[in-house]
Chains A and B, each alone.
Chain A
Amino acid sequence: MRPEGIAQGRRILPDFSSQFLVLVAGLLIVLIEAALAEWGFFYAAAPMLSLCFIAWFVLMNPGHLPVFSILAMALFAEFLGLDELGVRVVCWLIAWQAFGWRRNGEQEPDFLSLWSFFAGLTLLLSVFRLLIYFIDRLSLPDLSALAVQTGFTIFLFPVIFVLLYWTGFVWERWTAVFTVKR
């Protein structure tokens, strides 16, 4: 699969209403992430679906997810107890910056290179969170839970990517039909 949005420039022009819709979807993703943590299987290791969501939007549809939406999503996740206050904000901002560099750096990315970049960044962010935790408490948390969380985030990236790609495609078609009818 080749992401075509960047190369062909077939993007819907971002406006406030679409940005707002994407923000609502982002907050919903955070809620799903918190709900997954209720499942005993993901106890203390819910996959970071919101990172996949941010990655997809920053890489494929940059105008739709402004930095304030990312901030809102991170703060919301922190208020829900998925992370301590500020940690996720910093991580997501770093991710936003890194995805931005990646988007500007390569014009024709194939999916595997995107996935490997995402995997590398997720690992780096986990190490960064670990570092913050260590500085704060001079101890380390359960590394197996962290490994499960990081692993599942990387593993689920293609699934989220395809789902969002498909949703974007349907949305684009729907708005096109709507525009013609009007």
Chain B
Amino acid sequence: MPLQAPAKRRQRSARWPKILLILSGFLLILVGKADLAAVRTAQSGIIAFVMPVYDTVAMPVRALENLLVGLRGVAALREEAVLLRLENERLKRWQRRSEILESENRQLRAVLGVALPPEKQAVTARVIAAPGGSFFHSLLVDHGAGYPVRRGDPVVTADGLVGMVIAPGTRYSRVLLITDVNARIPILLSRENWPGLSVGRNAQLLKLDFLPLNATIETGELVQTSGHGGLLPAGLPVGRVVRVEDESVLVEPAVDLVRLSYVSILLGNPDELRTDIADIDNFFMPLPEAGETRLLEGFSPRDVLQ
């Protein structure tokens, strides 16, 4: 028995390095939470270093996905052609309507002297890494070198808002998706201009929070950025309301975040506002669909006329 005592002591002392290692892991979590600049720089450097290798490794996966998408596409081609013809007709009608509304909107803006957000330069970026786990919804994008991408720059596609840059790098940047639990976006509901906050849940759908108690919300309603807080420009489509319950309003993102290949990063300083009316002609925002009276930046011509 006395011979076993040193062995036990050795065993006990061998435990400490392991415990310390695991504790250092917990310490890393705290460092991650502190969001230190040094960590961000290290992360950006490592990503820039390994991305060429990653691109090569990801190539077969991309090829496989393209093959599967292609096979599915061939099967659905005829059906899609019919749908496209119908959509084309619908879009032509919308184009006529939008021309009328745009003209009306331009006149009303000229009358009101509306302050316009500054022009933003869009940089196209390739999505190179999608979220791999359900705890953290972010993308890695390759925008090329030489662009002044900054933290907070909005990231969009033609369909709407994707997220915002959280870790800019010289060539690769990390984008926080609107579905991430850390994403809080000031929004306006398009039909009656109710303000609120879109909150990510690390799930496919977003939740609306801080809506006024008397807000009336309908399924299918467009949700767009309000521009409050000055971080994101107003009028970017965020999604559509898909479920209205007593406690929660759920929104489906306007952008299919699962199948993202290319995105646009909007560069520029969102704090500056221009009031030059001559620039109104150049001002453009995407139009919401389905007969909504609320248009562009949360302004309703009907409200203005009243």
Give chain A interface residues in 85-107, CB to chain B under 8 Å. 85-87, 89-90, 93-94, 97
The answer to whether A141 and B22 have CB atoms under 8 Å apart is: no
Q: How many residues of A contact B (CB 8 A)?
A: 49
The answer to whether B131 and A86 have CB atoms under 8 Å apart is: no
Contacts A85-B29, A86-B30; A38 near B138 (Cβ below 8 A): no
**How far, in Å, is A134 (CB) from chain B's closest CB?**
11
Query: Is B151 part of the binding interface, using a Cβ–Cβ cutoff of 8 Å?
Result: no
Give chain B interface residues in 2-30, CB to chain A under 8 Å. 18, 21-22, 24-30
Contacts A83-B133, A149-B134; A43 near B22 (Cβ below 8 A): no
Partner pick for B133 among A45, A67, A74, A79, CB 8 A cutoff: A45
Tell which of B27, B53, B61, B174 has the most Cβ of chain A within 10 Å.
B61
Partner pick for B132 among A36, A71, A86, CB 8 A cutoff: A36
Q: Which of A25-33, A54-62, A170-178 contacts B (4 or more CB under 8 A)?
A: A25-33
Contacts A40-B258, A85-B32; A80 near B47 (Cβ below 8 A): yes
Query: Is B283 part of the binding interface, using a Cβ–Cβ cutoff of 8 Å?
Result: no
The answer to whether B136 and A38 have CB atoms under 8 Å apart is: no
The answer to whether A28 and B57 have CB atoms under 8 Å apart is: yes
The answer to whether A142 and B201 have CB atoms under 8 Å apart is: yes
**How far, in Å, is B164 (CB) from chain A's closest CB?**
15
The answer to whether A81 and B61 have CB atoms under 8 Å apart is: no
User: Which residues of B sit under 8 angstroms from A90, Cβ to Cβ?
Assistant: 22, 25-26, 28-29
Q: How far is the CA of A78 from the CA of B135 in the complex (A)?
A: 11
Interface of B is mostly: helix
Q: Residue on B with the closest CB to A129?
A: B135
Query: Is B110 part of the binding interface, using a Cβ–Cβ cutoff of 8 Å?
Result: no
Q: How far is the CA of A35 from the CA of B61 in the complex (A)?
A: 7
Hey, what's the 0/1 contact readout for B259-273 against A, CB within 8 Å counting as 1?
100000000000000
Q: List 30 A-B contacts (CB under 8 A).
A: A31-B53, A31-B54, A31-B58, A34-B58, A34-B132, A38-B58, A38-B129, A39-B65, A40-B65, A40-B258, A43-B257, A44-B132, A45-B134, A79-B46, A80-B129, A80-B132, A81-B129, A81-B140, A82-B133, A85-B31, A86-B31, A87-B29, A90-B26, A93-B22, A129-B135, A137-B181, A142-B204, A145-B202, A146-B134, A149-B134
Query: Is A76 part of the binding interface, using a Cβ–Cβ cutoff of 8 Å?
Result: yes
Q: How far is the CA of A132 from the CA of B136 in the complex (A)?
A: 13
The answer to whether A84 and B29 have CB atoms under 8 Å apart is: yes
**How far, in Å, is A41 (CB) from chain B's closest CB?**
8
The answer to whether B138 and A83 have CB atoms under 8 Å apart is: no
User: Which residues of B sit under 8 angstroms from A143, Cβ to Cβ?
Assistant: 134
Interface of A is mostly: helix
Query: Is B39 part of the binding interface, using a Cβ–Cβ cutoff of 8 Å?
Result: yes
Query: Is A73 part of the binding interface, using a Cβ–Cβ cutoff of 8 Å?
Result: no
Contacts A80-B129, A93-B21; A39 near B64 (Cβ below 8 A): yes
Query: Is B96 part of the binding interface, using a Cβ–Cβ cutoff of 8 Å?
Result: no
Q: How far is the CA of A151 from the CA of B227 in the complex (A)?
A: 41
The answer to whether B29 and A81 have CB atoms under 8 Å apart is: no
Query: Is A46 part of the binding interface, using a Cβ–Cβ cutoff of 8 Å?
Result: yes
The answer to whether A76 and B46 have CB atoms under 8 Å apart is: yes
Hey, what's the 0/1 contact readout for B61-87 against A, CB within 8 Å counting as 1?
110110000000000000000000000
**How far, in Å, is B125 (CB) from chain A's closest CB?**
15
Contacts A83-B135, A85-B39, A141-B201; A136 near B33 (Cβ below 8 A): yes
The answer to whether B21 and A79 have CB atoms under 8 Å apart is: no
The answer to whether A79 and B43 have CB atoms under 8 Å apart is: yes
Closest 7 CB pairs of A and B: A85-B32, A86-B28, A86-B29, A90-B25, A37-B132, A142-B203, A141-B202
Contacts A40-B259, A86-B26, A90-B26; A141 near B21 (Cβ below 8 A): no
